[in-house]
Amino acid sequence: MLKLIVACLLLALAATVTEGKVYTQCEVASALRAKGVPEEQVATWVCIAHAESDFDTTAINSNTWDYGIFQISSIYWCESGDSAGRFY
């Protein structure tokens, strides 16, 4: 019985693990360009991403539930810090 409980706990933990990535400045700039961000805005967005998250996709500000490399606030874009909101 104990082995079953341990196995279930390990399975539950494995199911909740997410992968994040820390991008380089060049990777962020390339991704922005690929998505059609105007060239004159790329440097600004890269600077914002660097200041907000240091390019870490797992960055979360627990005080206001801000997410991702641009630290998008859950106040406006998500519901209760655990699911996508109506604007997602």
- Give tens-digit pLDDT for 56-87: 988 877 677 787 888 888 777 655 555 554 44
Predicted pLDDT at 67: 79
Active site residue 39: no
Tell me how many degrees the CA angle 74-88-44 measures, rounded to the nearest 5: 75
Fold of 20-83: Lysozyme (1.10.530)
Which H helix or E strand runs over 79? strand 78-79
- Which one has a higher pLDDT value, 79 or 1? 1
Residue 65: partners with Cβ closer than 8 Å, 6 or more residues away:
73, 74, 75, 78, 81
Reported as type and span, the H/E element at residue 84 is strand 83-84
| Three-state SS at 82 | coil
| Helix H or strand E segment including 11 | helix 2-16
Residue boundaries of the structural domains of the chain:
20-83
Which tokens sit at 20?
A: 């994040």
What counts of helices (H) and strands (E) characterise the chain? Answer: 4, 5
Judge whether 19 counts as a catalytic residue.
no
pTM over 0.75: no
Tell me what pLDDT residue 87 has.
42
pLDDT at 88: 41
Selected catalytic residue, list 19, 66, 79, 82:
66
Query: 19, 27, 39, 52: which one is catalytic?
Result: 52
4-53 residue pLDDT tens: 676 656 556 555 556 788 999 999 999 999 999 999 999 999 999 999 99
What pLDDT score does 26 carry? 96
